[in-house]
Amino acid sequence: MTLKQFQEPLGAPWRRPLKGRLDQLVVESEVLAGNPLGDPYRRPLYVYSSPGVASGAATDVACVYVLQGFTGQLDAWLGRSAFEPTMIERLDAMFSDAGNPCPDAVVVFVDAWTSLGGAQFLNSTAIGNYTDYICDEVVLFIDANYPTDASSQRRAVAGKSSGGYGAMVLPMLRPDIFGALASHAGDALFEVCYLPDFAKAARALRDNFDGSLDAFKKQFAERDRFDHGHDGDVLNMYAMAAAYSPDPDHPTEVLLPFDLRTGRLIPDVWELWLAHDPVRMAPRHADALRGLRRVYLDAGRADEYFLDLGAQAFAAELTTLGVHHTLELFAGGHGGMTYRYPPAIRELLVSL
């Protein structure tokens, strides 16, 4: 058998040529330079332009920023599950569907990975200022280099899990930047999604790390393979604490909201976490939420982290505050939700 090399990729079902354009960029952040974890301040940034934008026909378009989940890295958006299109291909197909037109737009995939797995898209003395990175650097870069409308009312944010958390809180913290949101099973109602894991983390610390958080950090930093069963519960709680409860007396350290030996709740630290719960944040940011043009929420009814209940609780707060929104609970769990992202992005774009 003789192999022949072709200049152009084959139009095979596992590789679909885009009608729009995907730019895979690297940007340098002043905000993240010198961050406490020593994580890279040069960051990948993926920017998808719909066909009309890519051809130059569409200008002053809306823009949607997409945030990844905890431990997610940007190149995962290019990953392929068996017999399924990638996220980028799904997005391109939506924009290219002449039978169901979608407004042209720019869709930005933001990297907020850290060596702890993520930053919850917040500013933290223990991790770095990721709210500022997104809102004050990435957004300005996109508006300067792509034909986007720079109004907050033409800008939206979307994400799943921790990315869904970011999608809920960023418009509350920075209503000058975002005018709509879509959250897929975002972290919310912390006593339901986080509290049950405190005992698991305490037990893992006892059994795997002799009860020592320092031993965990040392071993985790030296690993070349992530063992979720061994490290996952402790890592998740430590990373969330780095985002929600950095130690005010030692700003690069964290306060955990439970006793390391017993898992018993430490109320003062737990209150710091609750202050970052979207359900509790909503009343403090009611005006910002009322100013949003679209709030789209969904979650699987069998979500393993009970984030369906979190979505319901957040929706209930929005109802109390008079914030128009939609909530859809569907058959499914926390995974396998990529197919839901493009329709949600369409919902946002139609409203912008």
For the cut 90, the answer to whether the pLDDT of residue 202 exceeds it is yes
The tokens for 111 are: 């990297």
7 part of a folded domain = no
For the cut 60, the answer to whether the pLDDT of residue 99 exceeds it is yes
Confidence of residue 304 (pLDDT cuts 50, 70, 90): very high
Q: What is the pLDDT of residues 252-272, one digit of tens each?
A: 999 999 999 899 999 999 999
Q: What is the pLDDT of residues 152-172, one digit of tens each?
A: 999 999 999 999 999 999 999
Cα dihedral across residues 170, 303, 273, 284: positive or negative: positive
pLDDT value at residue 222: 83
Residue identified by tokens 């997610």 is 72
163 part of a folded domain = yes
Please name the residues in contact with 332: beta carbons below 8 A apart, sequence gap of 6 or more.
300, 301, 302
Task: Identify whether residues 36 and 167 lie together within a single domain.
Answer: yes
Task: Identify whether residues 289 and 314 lie together within a single domain.
Answer: yes
* Residue 182: C-alpha distances to residues 13, 61, 298 (Å): 29, 18, 8
The tokens for 351 are: 């409203």
Q: Which domain-ending residue is among 274, 305, 320?
A: 274
266 part of a folded domain = yes
Distance between CA 284 and CA 274 in Å, rounded? 13
Task: Identify whether residues 165 and 222 lie together within a single domain.
Answer: no
Query: What share of the chain in percent tops pLDDT 70?
Result: 95
∠ CA 334-193-326 to the nearest 5 degrees?
65
Q: CB–CB of 322/295 below 8 Å? A: no
Which domain, by its residues, includes 326?
21-188+277-351
The tokens for 112 are: 């907020």
Please name the residues in contact with 115: beta carbons below 8 A apart, sequence gap of 6 or more.
37, 38, 39, 221
CATH number at residue 285: 3.40.50.1820
Distance between CA 326 and CA 330 in Å, rounded? 13
Task: Identify whether residues 60 and 172 lie together within a single domain.
Answer: yes
Task: Identify whether residues 252 and 301 lie together within a single domain.
Answer: no
15 part of a folded domain = no
* Mean pLDDT score, 58-85: 94
Q: How many domains does the chain have?
A: 2
Exposed, middle or buried, 238 (CB in 10 Å: 0-12/13-18/19+)?
buried
The 10 Å Cβ neighbour count of residue 334 is 19
Task: Identify whether residues 139 and 225 lie together within a single domain.
Answer: no
Task: Identify whether residues 219 and 230 lie together within a single domain.
Answer: yes
Task: Identify whether residues 253 and 301 lie together within a single domain.
Answer: no
For the cut 60, the answer to whether the pLDDT of residue 2 exceeds it is no
Q: Which domain-ending residue is among 274, 297, 315?
A: 274
Cα dihedral across residues 258, 259, 260, 261: positive or negative: negative
From first CA to last CA, the distance across the chain in angstroms is: 55
Distance between CA 137 and CA 125 in Å, rounded? 18
Q: Which domain-ending residue is among 258, 274, 290?
A: 274
Could you give the 3-state DSSP secondary structure of residue 166?
Answer: helix
